[in-house]
A and B are shown apart, each in its own frame.
Chain A
Amino acid sequence: GIQVEQSPPDLILQEGANSTLRCNFSDSVNNLQWFHQNPWGQLINLFYIPSGTKQNGRLSATTVATERYSLLYISSSQTTDSGVYFCAASGGGSQGNLIFGKGTKLSVKP
């Protein structure tokens, strides 16, 4: 099955800084999602992006399917951006094939 690797595993930023999180996947995908897990454990959908580029406020994401990677950009980071960011992918069918990376733990310091 698909393997999903995220980097870096940990990231510490000063408030206001920008960051890039990376997700590599081992095979072609038709579902690629980014999630933010807040300190209470809730998973928040950020992007559904099997290909192309999307933006939502200070966050944007790009997936280059042919090169099997996706990037999540966070600009002007805020303390509320802290948490764990997960990338998840599947090669088809239902979510039963959705494979999660190990996540990037982001800490934004005031």
Chain B
Amino acid sequence: SAVISQKPSRDICQRGTSLTIQCQVDSQVTMMFWYRQQPGQSLTLIATANQGSEATYESGFVIDKFPISRPNLTFSTLTVSNMSPEDSSIYLCSVDRVVRGEAFFGQGTRLTVV
């Protein structure tokens, strides 16, 4: 299994500010994934981050709101920009196990916007 370190684990932020979430993997991976889980809901894929290219965003998510960096094969960041209370969610990063596509998740970032 992959070891994925995500930080911060939680934060309380003022509306209008931005928060950058970091995700570090213990081995090189081609793709990293960012999910959002709104309160009481399931997980929704925000974007796929490939090293050396722009992230691919899912319908309903835009780069201006959720800019992503992928500077190397073990690290990625997700920024939640110009936050509003509706952005209060758990944000999770994930990677595939190379051989068969099994997904592993970081411990998540619980974001509260006040």
Does chain A bind chain B?
Answer: yes
Smallest CB gap from B45: residue in A:
A96
User: Nearest chain-B residue to A103 (Cβ)?
Assistant: B42
Using a CB–CB cutoff of 8 Å, the interface residues on chain B facing chain A are 1, 31, 33, 37, 41-45, 48, 56, 90, 92, 94-96, 100-105, 107-108, 110
CB neighbours (8 Å) of A43 from chain B are 92, 105, 108
Chain A residues at the B interface, C-beta cutoff of 8 Å: 30-31, 33, 35, 40-43, 45, 48, 86, 88, 90, 93-96, 98, 100-103
User: What's the count of A-B pairs with C-beta under 8 Å?
Assistant: 60
Whether B31 and A94, one on each chain, are in contact in the complex, defined by CB atoms closer than 8 angstroms, is: yes
> Are A95 and B105 closer than 8 Å at their CB atoms?
no
Q: Once the chains are docked, how many angstroms separate the CA of A31 from the CA of B102? A: 7
Main secondary structure of the interface of B (DSSP, over half): strand
Partner of A45, one of B1, B48, B96: B1
A54 to chain B minimum Cβ distance, whole angstroms, is 13
Q: A41-B90, A86-B43, A103-B42 are in contact. Are A98 and B103 (CB under 8 A)?
A: yes
Across the interface, do A42 and B45 meet the contact criterion of CB distance under 8 Å? no
CB pair A96 B31 closer than 8 Å: yes
Q: How far is the CA of A96 from the CA of B45 in the complex (A)?
A: 8
Q: Is the CB of B101 within 8 A of A95?
A: yes
Q: Choose from B31, B44, B92 the contact partner of A95 (Cβ within 8 Å).
A: B31
